A and B are shown apart, each in its own frame.
Chain A
């Protein structure tokens, strides 16, 4: 795990440093002395190997370096300010997708081939194929401007959080529902379920006590990739709903060639994902005792 992060950090460091054009040769040419001082401040005047060691040394201490664009702020400050917002958005969206997806999938499976099943499955198919920026814009048009139910931008009040969370959660809800339906149908056809029914348990007990635990394993393993997709999805959502989260900063940093901020964000996201995947693996071994770590 540490090795993966080290490789990512090294690769992105060199990619950034070999980029044509530095962060300061933009709008206007700075006087030579100032530029020299700036380069010295960011260690750009030192040999590459030294720069690499300085950066890696900082990284070990959890210091992501100064931002190239915002002269007086460090990458750590920017991330500390904006990341909690993205994190809240992501956690709400993932939880919503998990709860709604699992229940919808279970309902569809229990009422197989009913009108309810077909309706759910058609809606989820739509949910999977709609690009989430399109869904977000449509919701924005409908519920902020045509029917002003929610504020269009910002973050903090509950009303501002509804649409972004819904938009972000939609594709995962749909995917989880389909996965859950297939997995539940599979489990319900197994002999031990017949035994449970033969014992005289109600259908509700059969599903909730016996089937659910086994049917949910594919969903748990999907949570890893889902978390990755939520991170990327939240960039778009933050742009549409003007939320001052890390995604917004990341896009601006990429547009402004703010190398350290881009790298810091990529590293943070990679680190989180590696951690999250580990958590998923551990959760897996709790749910399914046959899995050994």
Chain B
């Protein structure tokens, strides 16, 4: 009964938060578009039309065309699939590492906790993206390496939050009860503690997606991330940058991929903040 009401007020609080709802609507919109891309894209991804190079936005090509006469809107739609996929997969990797690490540190407590969290403090101060670049240099620039590496450097905040919550929860009676019934530590963590942490975990996973996407865009922009023929919003913007010269500025090649990325990141951040506000207090 009480839980039902709690859920309803949480949902209500979220619905009343207009920026969060706008963010949610935009994320759903982008999600539907990238899911349906193979069906609704106006042109094919690779199709070149050398008679229509460097065209500005028009009714025929809403976002213009690139150096090989390919439709930019189609490429932005396909690029979105990669950007979002990397964001989701990276967030999932960070979630798995962060939750495992944080719940173990919090549950064990004492010296184990001290050492584990001290390590997190140290890692916080390091320029992580350089290590991602280092790993990508060494292992090769594949998209799987990309999201695993990005996820592997994004788990610190998640670990801190899960640890804090675990410490608070582990003294409660239901944990005592589970232990009295003979449950193992692993069982207590997985079946009794984690279900109670689902709120903060969802919030921070949501907020991790845009930061992974931003880092992917950053790497792809430098040519160190997604490799051709695949493209993401970051690499599309990088391709576009080559065509901005004092002689001829084909602005649409940069503005549309960049703007789509910025708007999506903004919407995801609004959504994450809204979820946090609704679940907290």
> What residues make up the interface of A, taking CB atoms closer than 8 Å to B?
4, 8, 12, 15-16, 18-20, 128-131, 133-134, 137-138, 140-141, 144-146, 152, 224-225, 228, 231-232, 235-236, 239-240, 250-251, 254-255, 257, 259, 262-263, 265-266, 269-270, 273-274, 277
In the bound assembly, the distance between CA atoms of A9 and B134 in angstroms comes to 12
In the bound assembly, the distance between CA atoms of A67 and B255 in angstroms comes to 37
In the complex formed, the residue of A with least CB distance to B125 is A277
Residue from the list A8, A131, A141, A269 in contact with B214, Cβ < 8 A: A131
In the complex formed, the residue of B with least CB distance to A258 is B137
Residue from the list B127, B131, B251, B254 in contact with A231, Cβ < 8 A: B127
Residue from the list B122, B134, B218, B255 in contact with A232, Cβ < 8 A: B218
* Contact call B221/A236, Cβ cutoff below 8 A: yes
* Contact call B122/A4, Cβ cutoff below 8 A: yes
Q: What residues of B have a CB within 8 angstroms of the CB of A133 in the complex?
A: 217-218, 221, 234, 237, 258
Interface size class of B (residues with CB under 8 A): 35 or more
* Contact call A262/B133, Cβ cutoff below 8 A: yes
A134-B261, A137-B244, A240-B241 known; A232 and B127 CB under 8 Å?
A: yes
Q: How many A-B residue pairs have CB under 8 A?
A: 112
Kindly specify which of B24-32, B173-181, B262-270 makes contact with the partner chain.
B262-270
In the bound assembly, the distance between CA atoms of A257 and B127 in angstroms comes to 20
In the complex formed, the residue of A with least CB distance to B264 is A129
In the complex formed, the residue of A with least CB distance to B251 is A141
From DSSP, what is the main secondary structure of chain A's interface residues?
helix
Fill in one digit per residue for B242-281: 1 if any A CB lies within 8 Å of its CB, else 0: 0010100101001100110110011001000000000000
> What residues make up the interface of B, taking CB atoms closer than 8 Å to A?
122, 124-127, 129-131, 133-140, 214, 217-218, 221-224, 234, 237, 240-241, 244, 246, 249, 251, 254-255, 258-259, 261-262, 265-266, 269
A134-B237, A141-B251 known; A228 and B126 CB under 8 Å?
A: yes
* Contact call A232/B241, Cβ cutoff below 8 A: no
In the bound assembly, the distance between CA atoms of A104 and B265 in angstroms comes to 24
In the bound assembly, the distance between CA atoms of A15 and B254 in angstroms comes to 35
* Contact call B265/A255, Cβ cutoff below 8 A: no
In the complex formed, the residue of B with least CB distance to A277 is B125
